[in-house]
Structure 1
């Protein structure tokens, strides 16, 4: 009889608990997770701050712009996480990559303290310590979100009409050799360059189509106007930084053709 009374008491407690639940109250069972899912993060966008450590931290934390991470220029660089990866940081602005707009929604932004292009036209180099930290940070983010190499880009890649960061001194090739970004087949590029020097350069329709294939937003009008020149310069800063004048020469177009 005691067992029967105990069972009755437990049942009564459960009924009472159910009876006291208010309309609209609910519980969420998170014990089962769907197999068909992946990260919302598809892109990593790299920037330079164009100012020093203190000013960069103040601007990115207090003004109408932000990034997920800030890497300082200290001898032992600090990494600040200013925005949780699950939230939008305001770092990309009006931009596009492979036809995807609103880049803030699907990207992680990394700002690196660097002054960029100086008044005399030269560029401030990144320190080896900064690049080592950026590399480690990228590896961590890529592993967690399975980001494709061609979706690790610079601000100038996704907004070539208005941005030039992280600039021609950012070591894209060094990172790509670690699997952090896209690079081209250099042997093929040399062969294509010789082919273009012998036979002549492709027309502007080909150039624009190939840049679009590579991910860039570019006019498709067959004309070598200012907008197209800006895109070519952005491409050169990433893949041929020794000369980034926006001129579609044989070397530039060979690299473009050799790009996977």
Structure 2
């Protein structure tokens, strides 16, 4: 009977295969032994030493109104593509919902900028406030006011967040500040001055504003000056030298924040005076460099 060459070679092939498998097992065993011998365990990372050179990733606190009722606000912010870290209800006893952990990014700011920062979702905490926003009327937009107890809750929440993350007053902003071409929230009825009294935002000194207003009533700054000052304060502002619609939107956002009784987007002495005072640099002491003892 004839035996094929393949049949004769089969035992040798099986021996070779077993040898290869044995070598593989030994190599894997050696690798695992090496890993165990290092003593490294992800569950035992040493956290006893903390670096001094660190700070919160959060730089901004952004305030919004939802433009929806309570139930729809909660549903949209928890189930759709838009979100915020907190939602403050407008009930008699306001409730605060935390919808996103502060260590995670929420999607509330959209296309946004302030000073040299852009895409602020990554560096901000967002607070949504249940409020219908505005309705269109024959006389233009009619905004809705905020209940006092709701604002009390927002201020308490904002103070806690700002203190824990060391958020600077110039970085506590409204959606209309960081996106003036798209957004108007939290609107002219949001009591920014109460935030200033709580130490949360910058506010221009009234006496200095009155003095500067008198000067500007005699000679009103031009559009180029206004655009540069708005950009210096933080707004993304066109530098066209023209009072174009985009520039008027930025002026309107500034007025809603600091002069909500009139926010028409036009340049006037009071608006310019507020902007001048807010961007005025504090006097610096005279340099003593080179002075002889």
Q: How does 1:94-173 map to 2 (within 5 A)?
A: 94-120=111-137, 121-173=141-193
Gap runs ≥5 in structure 1 = 1-16
Query: What RMSD in Å do the two structures reach over aligned CA positions?
Result: 1.7
Q: Match for residue 14 of structure 2?
A: none
Q: Match for residue 215 of structure 2?
A: 195
How far the C-alpha of 1:26 sits from its partner, in A, is 3.9
Question: How far apart, CA to CA, are the structure 2 residues paired with 1:127 and 1:35?
Answer: 42
| Alignment partner of 1:181 out of 201, 205, 215 | 201
Which deviations, in whole Å up to 9, do the C-alpha atoms of 1:118-166 show, x marking residues without a partner? 2333211100110000010011001100110010000000000000000
How far the C-alpha of 1:208 sits from its partner, in A, is 0.7
Q: How does 1:72-87 map to 2 (within 5 A)?
A: 72-87=89-104
Q: How does 1:38-117 map to 2 (within 5 A)?
A: 38-117=55-134
TM-score for both structures, normalised by structure 1: 0.90
TM-score for both structures, normalised by structure 2: 0.80
- Corresponding residue pairs, total: 243
Larger radius of gyration: 2
Question: How far apart, CA to CA, are the structure 2 residues paired with 1:20 and 1:188?
Answer: 69
How far the C-alpha of 1:212 sits from its partner, in A, is 0.7
Question: How far apart, CA to CA, are the structure 1 residues paired with 2:236 and 2:136?
Answer: 29
Question: How far apart, CA to CA, are the structure 1 residues paired with 2:35 and 2:272?
Answer: 72
| Alignment partner of 2:47 out of 20, 23, 30 | 30
Question: How far apart, CA to CA, are the structure 2 residues paired with 1:26 and 1:101?
Answer: 39
Ranked by relative contact order (alpha carbons within 8 Å, sequence separation 6 or more), the top structure is 1
